[in-house]
Amino acid sequence: MIIVTGANGFIGSAMIWELNQAGLDNIVAIDTVNLASRNLLQKRKYTQFFEGHELWSFLATEEARKNVTWMIHMGACSSTTETDWDFLYNNNFQYSQRLFEWCSQNQKNLIYASSAATYGAGENGFEDTYDSEKLKPLNLYGESKVIMDRWAVKQKSTPANWYSLKFFNVFGPNEYEKGSMASVAFKAYHQIQKNSELGLFKSYNPQFADGRQLRDFVYVKDVTAWMKELMDKKPESGIYNMGFGKARSWMDLAESLFAAMNKEVKINWLDMPENIKNQYQYFTQANMQKWVAAGLSEPKWPLEKAIGDYVKNYLDQKDPWL
């Protein structure tokens, strides 16, 4: 039995797709958003669905203690602009902490979502071997994630195997309900459809030309394949980056989208809002050496291939869900 939290969200629902592809359907799906309000699992196979607060009652049962093998914890508040620290602390730290402790007590395996936001401005690089105590996130969301990592590595009692995954710029099918937190790839597709042009922020750093700010874009299909690989191979427990490992520019993303949509490239350069200028990252790139050294797979979806798949097989379709 596999528990997936955030199952009715982007990466969680995509992970259930990945598990189903491997013939696994004894899945307990957990989310704070019920299926009547949103259903990203309409094509998926799973055995039970519980709302977030109901998970604790289920974990107290003999069924859970006996049958659960993996906890895949993707549920969290993912808003990088959230300002309610108490809410973030409860949802992103204390909830994760309780699941870690349950997995430790019952010797279950755990995967939980951290974030590249923990790296802050990247002044210390983007290495998953770097001491989390020294990281300085730029926002409260990043802070809520890094305190979990700091806590986890100090624990003497741990799950059988545990993995904290620092997701970089993940995009792909099933992110349709993320609203303002959806990827630029998703937003840009709809903007180009509507206006035949794309708005991108100007650069305010002389080292980067407009549109040449760099991000580590990673397709959700690589991310879910990697999580399944962790389950199969069980490398050394700890913190791992989840990025493609090669930074690409916003213009690379834009040109890939226009090409996939068979449209001429047309960019509208926008002034950056004052409230994000001081938090803006001009470069992110996951160091994937630890991952590769553990004998785990290289990514299979470079940006152009991923955008092509996303547009033609999902965004262009009337029924775009995984």
Q: Calculate mean pLDDT across residues 246-259.
A: 98
3-state secondary structure of 283: strand
Question: Which residue type occupies 302?
Answer: P
Domain-wise residue ranges, the chain: 2-171+217-245+285-301, 179-214+247-284+307-315
Q: In this structure, what token pair is assigned to residue 167?
A: 């997701």
pLDDT value at position 34? 95
Among candidate residues 213, 176, 194, 214, the one with its CA nearest the CA of residue 317: 176
179-214+247-284+307-315 has CATH 3.40.50.10070 classification: no
The continuous run of DSSP H or E covering 270 comes out as: strand 267-270
Q: Calculate mean pLDDT across residues 179-198.
A: 96
Between the alpha carbon of residue 131 and those of residues 103, 117, 149, 285, the distances in Å are: 24, 15, 10, 17
Distance, CA of 299 to CA of 218 (rounded, Å)? 8
Q: pTM higher than 0.75, yes or no?
A: yes
Q: Calculate mean pLDDT across residues 138-146.
A: 96
Distance, CA of 141 to CA of 82 (rounded, Å)? 7
| pLDDT-derived band at 81, boundaries 50, 70, 90 | confident
pLDDT value at position 229? 98
pLDDT value at position 103? 98
pLDDT value at position 31? 97
pLDDT value at position 281? 85
Between the alpha carbon of residue 169 and those of residues 78, 120, 153, the distances in Å are: 12, 14, 24
Distance, CA of 11 to CA of 65 (rounded, Å)? 25
Distance, CA of 306 to CA of 218 (rounded, Å)? 9
Phi, psi of 45 (to 5 degrees): -110, 130
Q: Calculate mean pLDDT across residues 72-85.
A: 94
pLDDT value at position 14? 98
| pLDDT-derived band at 315, boundaries 50, 70, 90 | very high
The tens digit of pLDDT for each residue in 272-289 reads 999 888 778 899 999 999
pLDDT value at position 124? 93
Distance, CA of 72 to CA of 227 (rounded, Å)? 9
2-171+217-245+285-301 has CATH 3.10.110.10 classification: no
Q: Which residues are catalytic?
A: 141, 178
pLDDT value at position 147? 98
Share of the chain above pLDDT 90, in %: 96
